[in-house]
Amino acid sequence: MPERRTVALVTLGCARNEVDSEELAGRLEADGWQLVEDAADADVAVVNTCGFVEAAKKDSVDALLEANDLKGHGRTQAVVAVGCMAERYGKELAEALPEADGVLGFDDYTDISARLQTILSGGGHVAHTPRDRRKLLPISPVERQQAGTDVAIPGHGPADLPEGVAPASGPRAPLRRRLDGSPVASVKLASGCDRRCSFCAIPSFRGSFISRRPSDVLNETRWLAEQGVKEIMLVSENNTSYGKDLGDIRLLESLLPELAEVEGIERIRVSYLQPAEMRPGLIDVLTSTPKVAPYFDLSFQHSAPGVLRAMRRFGDTDRFLELLDTIRSKAPEAGVRSNFIVGFPGESEADLAELERFLNGARLDAIGVFGYSDEEGTEAATYDNKLDPEVVAERLARVSRLAEELVSQRAEERIGETVRVLVESVDEEEGVVGRGAHQAPETDGQVLLTGGEGLSVGRMVEAKVVGAQGVDLVAEPLPGALVGEEAGR
């Protein structure tokens, strides 16, 4: 019997890319490939790249070069680029990076096994010429669902497959194969974006906004629960738009309570929320539904009105603070995080001071700060009033220092609170580490549980916050602290 072909998936970028990698893994395993963790043990190393900002693109190129170095020293015979950077640049990336044996776009995903086999056999694959994927679907959102069946949309694989396609497969098995044993998993709610922020290129290579059907999201969540997942994070480019192409812009409000009833799931988290699209009903559901984390990942980007308008965005400092007041009036312990761009073309010292005013009043749990840089193909790249790179760097350092101070202060404010902590790692040196409802994976802080001996990964624990270490918290489990299913065992 011939030895099975082996493949390793190396994932960079956001949680949406992680979902895409697990769909690719499901497709490959269904076609007989053996998945391995280490690229050195694989016939083919598939690097799922990020194409968002320059730093992420550099990381993607470095990962491809690192995988290429394995060739000739072990089992690895080919290195293939997929993901956003591969989709965004196509032939250009293939020509600039001959170390990659193949550059595959989203349209190649449904035939990923055949593509990899061709490359592994020494056959050529002509990289695609990039196109604006916003033009592949109708302008009207309600006309997209049927058209979307003919357009490659990563992470939207069918949720009902024949037996044997995925681990513990059955009537709910999605086109997905988990690549780690984490008790947390992301679930695609939608893909693409209809917003036209002047600094962002994502819609051009991810396409227009298209929702997954609620039944697919529910079935995938049930399947993940069967795999031992305790927390799901709903991801997309803009979750507040979910359902608009299905004829119901309030569909998320009805879906969340259904997800909360899935047996085995202890926490549901919603990411990527647009402040301009927040509505009272959604705030109510996010702050009052059992098992739904009162967590608000709000994409503010700035707070000075002039800068926001140049970004093609809405709002201002006072409106944003009012939104946060509304949220906290319903859930005082709600978690809020956001990202900000400083040094945007035309940003004045007064604009920067206005952003600092907002940050000082917002009491955010986590803050990401980025210095502006041109992204090709965006409107902002054509603006004339660019700031000198030295000015951008100075403002980035200044706001980053402020952000670090403010998130530390916010963590200290939580001392004395009771938090529900999902245990994510147990290590002899680091101890028992998890996250509270106000902390998302990767992007936010974490909780160190003291006196957590005997706890295992996947346990949900009630704990009292007794200290803070920067953005991180230190907490002690309460007597009889296990929550949900674990409490009854």
pLDDT in tens, 285-313: 999 999 999 999 999 999 999 999 999 99
Using the predicted structure, report yes or no on whether residue 489 has a pLDDT greater than 80.
Answer: no
List pLDDT tens digits, range 180-214.
999 999 999 999 999 999 999 999 999 999 999 99
Nearest CA among 405, 422, 428, 426 for reference residue 461? 422
Query: 251-260 vs 280-288: helix axis angle to the nearest 10?
Result: 10
Q: How confident is the model at residue 164 (pLDDT cuts 50, 70, 90)?
A: very low
Long-range contacts of 17-20 (CB under 8 A, 24+ apart): 17/48, 17/50, 17/83, 17/84, 18/179, 18/186, 19/154, 19/155, 19/176, 19/186, 19/187, 19/188, 19/235, 20/48, 20/83, 20/109, 20/154, 20/155
pLDDT given at position 154: 87
Using the predicted structure, report yes or no on whether residue 419 has a pLDDT greater than 90.
Answer: yes
Say whether 111 counts as a known binding-site residue: no
Using the predicted structure, report yes or no on whether residue 396 has a pLDDT greater than 80.
Answer: yes
- Of the given ranges (164-178, 442-456, 460-474), which has the lowest mean pLDDT? 164-178
* CATH number given to 174-413: 3.80.30.20
Say whether 193 counts as a known binding-site residue: yes
- Concatenated DSSP letters of 125-140: -PPPPP--GGGGS-SS
Say whether 232 counts as a known binding-site residue: no
Using the predicted structure, report yes or no on whether residue 175 has a pLDDT greater than 90.
Answer: no
pLDDT given at position 442: 84
The residues with which 342 forms a beta bridge, in sequence order, are: 371
Comparison of pLDDT for 347 and 152, the residue scoring more: 347
Using the predicted structure, report yes or no on whether residue 169 has a pLDDT greater than 50.
Answer: no
The residues with which 210 forms a beta bridge, in sequence order, are: 191
pLDDT given at position 144: 85
Whole-angstrom distance, CA of residue 299 vs CA of residue 338? 5
Using the predicted structure, report yes or no on whether residue 429 has a pLDDT greater than 60.
Answer: yes
pLDDT given at position 185: 96
Query: Checking phi first, is residue 299 left (phi over 0); if not, alpha (psi -120 to 50) or beta?
Result: beta
CATH 3.40.50.12160 intervals, the chain = 6-129
pLDDT > 70 fraction of the chain, expressed in percent and rounded: 94
Whole-angstrom distance, CA of residue 303 vs CA of residue 319? 9
List pLDDT tens digits, range 22-70.
999 999 998 999 999 998 999 999 999 998 777 788 889 888 988 888 8
Q: How confident is the model at residue 454 (pLDDT cuts 50, 70, 90)?
A: confident
Q: Topology of domain 415-477, per CATH? A: OB fold (Dihydrolipoamide Acetyltransferase, E2P) (2.40.50)
361 CB burial (10 A radius; 0-12, 13-18, 19+): middle
Whole-angstrom distance, CA of residue 109 vs CA of residue 23? 9
Whole-angstrom distance, CA of residue 242 vs CA of residue 234? 11
CATH 3.80.30.20 intervals, the chain = 174-413
Residue type, 103: V
Nearest CA among 361, 291, 292, 289 for reference residue 324? 361
- Of the given ranges (149-163, 393-407, 473-487), which has the lowest mean pLDDT? 149-163
* CATH number given to 6-129: 3.40.50.12160
Mean pLDDT for 263-289 is 97
- The H or E element that residue 340 is part of is strand 335-342
Whole-angstrom distance, CA of residue 61 vs CA of residue 50? 9
Q: How confident is the model at residue 231 (pLDDT cuts 50, 70, 90)?
A: very high
pLDDT given at position 268: 98
Comparison of pLDDT for 484 and 77, the residue scoring more: 77
Q: Which residue is listed with tokens 């147990």?
A: 426
Q: Which residue is listed with tokens 């900000």?
A: 340
CA distance readout (Å), 225 to 71, 263, 294, 301: 38, 7, 21, 34
Mean pLDDT for 318-340 is 98
CATH 2.40.50.140 intervals, the chain = 415-477
Q: How confident is the model at residue 1 (pLDDT cuts 50, 70, 90)?
A: very low
Q: Collect all residues with Cβ–Cβ distance below 8 Å to 451 and sequence separation of at least 6.
A: 476, 477
